[in-house]
Every structure is written in structure tokens, then in C-alpha cells.
Amino acid sequence: MVMANRAGDTLRRAIRTDVGAVRQRNEDAAYVDEAGRYFVLADGMGGCSAGDVASNTAVDVVRTILDDRAHELAAFAESPSEYGRRRICALVDRAVRDAHDVVLERSRVDPRLEGMGTTLEVAVMAAHELFVAHVGDSRTYLLHDGALRHLTEDHTVAEAMRKSGAMSADEASWSPLRSVLTNAIGASPRVAIDHLHFELSTGDRILLCSDGLYEYFSDDELALASLEGAPEDGLDELIAFARSRGGHDNITGILIEVPPWRPPHALSGLTDDVLASFVERALGERELRARIQLDAEV
């Protein structure tokens, strides 16, 4: 599946969701913006408490807000700036917090939905920069130069114990506590949101996925399937293998390949050396991973 970007090149991306081999209902939800501006994935929880309602509600709220402010994403793509970065981060933060509030309120007013919640991954791509908002234990990966990097941290009891030293990395990877969330959309009055920002290169691939996908693969296997061939082929292969290895949960993934990008017209005509120097100064080091101060009003 392809779409045009601002430079006339194509953005290759794929989205897949599967109920798995055990579950009777798919509580995952995902959406890919047709213009290639943003991508959303949610893994609902609650079982009889309507996890599918939580995930679909969260995705719909985020879609509504980002579509309404699409002009800000387009403006940043045309003219990247530090102010624009803060604006995008604040916009995504508002979308995620509104999703949390709506899911929480629905569970309060409808007894049938009590206890529902969802993870949430929101990725915005503009001007070869990636903005990620993360809640829960779904994941966002970056595949660059053949190497896979896990960008997000799981909000689980096992991960918290690993970070505190109470559990080794190997123990955390197998512990039943790896499925117990410490943070989720709609699960409690307050939600913590991780914000991340990265510069992208042409040919990089971004993978958003639920735990029903990544739990069945090593990082090397994920990288191999995600890097080879068309994005839809890679996702189809991953889902088929996840099902064959147990498929105990719903399985959902979004895979995007970063297309070539033309810098804004104001930079045209510069030599490669001057342009490279400008971009290096403007964007700083390639791998920026830090919580951005949300000091811009939306």
C-alpha cells in the first residue's frame, strides 16, 4: 500500500490486525492516516469489560483531534522549527489525554464497561522527524541500517522491577508480571505519557505493534521480517508466525517505510556541505530521546 508524500515520492506502509489463534474477539485497534501524517495503535484490556470499546474509542479520539489540527503538521513539514516541535508534542499530548478522559468517563457512566482500558501508541511523522507518544506495553520500534531499536519502555510491573534491580532482564522477559500494566489509558484517574522524538533517514522503517506480535519474536527475527520486501509482506509473515507459535493474544502491527524527503524550498540551491551543516545545527544529534517540555499551548 502506497501514498504520496510532499516531495512526490511514495510512503509505503501496511496495517494488519488478527484475532489470533485463541481469542474470540479482537480488542486491538489501529489506524493509518491516508495522508501519511500519523499512525495510531491500541491494545484494549478488560475482557468482558469491553477492551475493544476502549481501544476503538482511544483511536477515534486521537484521529479526530489530529485531523482537526492537520494544518499544524503540514506547516511543520514545510518549515521545521523548535517551536513547531513543541507544538506537535503538545498537540499529541492533548490527543492522548483526551482519549484517556473519554475512555475513563465511558467506563464510569456505563457499568458494562467498568474496568476497561487500553494501551496507546501514537506516531506522527513530519519533515523526516518522528514524534511518539506511548502509554502501556504496546511498542514502537525503529529499524535503521539493518538494526532494530526498541524506542519505548513497557509500562509493566516486570519492567519496573527490572529497572529497580529486583529482577534480571531475562527474568522480566518471562515473568507473568510482564503482562501486568502499571499505566494505561482509562484505567485510573491519572495517566503518564512518554514522549519521544527522533530524526529519521530515508529507508528507515517504523514498526508499531501490540504485545500479541512482539512477544513471539527475538529482535533479530523482528528486524529480518520487517526489513525485507514490502511492508505488507513483512507484517503478513510476522502475523502468520505469531499464530503458528501460539497466537494466544490479538496480533496487530503497523509498518511504515520512510520515503525520500525534500527540504523546504528556502534551503534549495545550497551546496550539500552547507545544507548538511545547516541540518546538523538545526536538528542536533541524530538520536534525541528525551521527554520534551510541554510548554506550548494547544
DSSP string, the chain: -EEE-TTS-EEEEEEEEE--SS-SS--EEEEE-TTSSEEEEEEEE-GGGTHHHHHHHHHHHHHHHHHHTHHHHHHHHHS--HHHHHHHHHHHHHHHHHHHHHHHHHHHH-GGGTT-EE-EEEEEEETTEEEEEEESS-EEEEEETTEEEE-S---BHHHHHHHHTSS-HHHHHH-GGGGSBS--BTSSS----EEEEEE--TT-EEEEE-HHHHTT--HHHHHHHHHSS-HHHHHHHHHHHHHHTT--S-EEEEEEEPPP-PPPGGGTT--HHHHHHHHHHHH-SS----PPP--S--
Domain containing residue 220: 2-283
pLDDT digits over 217-227, tens only? 999 999 999 98
Instruction: With respect to residue 298, please indicate whether it lies within any of the assigned structural domains.
Output: no
Q: How confident is the model at residue 265 (pLDDT cuts 50, 70, 90)?
A: very low
Whole-prediction pTM = 0.85
**Which pLDDT value is given to residue 263?**
62
Which carries the bigger pLDDT value, residue 66 or residue 284? Answer: 66
Quick check: is 151 in a domain? yes
CATH of the domain at 142: 3.60.40.10
Provide the pLDDT confidence category of residue 261 given band limits of 50, 70 and 90. confident
In this predicted structure, what is the pLDDT of residue 264?
Answer: 54
Does any domain span residue 288?
A: no
Supply the mean pLDDT for the chain: 86
Report whether pLDDT(22) > 60: yes
- Give percent above pLDDT 70 in the chain: 84
User: How many domains does the structure of the chain reveal?
Assistant: 1
Is pLDDT at 103 greater than 80 in this prediction? yes
Domain-embedded: residue 292 = no
Say if 293 falls within a structural domain: no
pLDDT tens for each residue of 181-209: 999 999 999 999 999 999 999 999 999 99
Query: Is pLDDT above 70 for 2?
Result: no
295 occurs within a structural domain: no
Q: Is residue 155 part of a domain?
A: yes
Query: Is residue 201 included in any domain, yes or no?
Result: yes
pLDDT category at 47 given cuts 50, 70, 90 is low
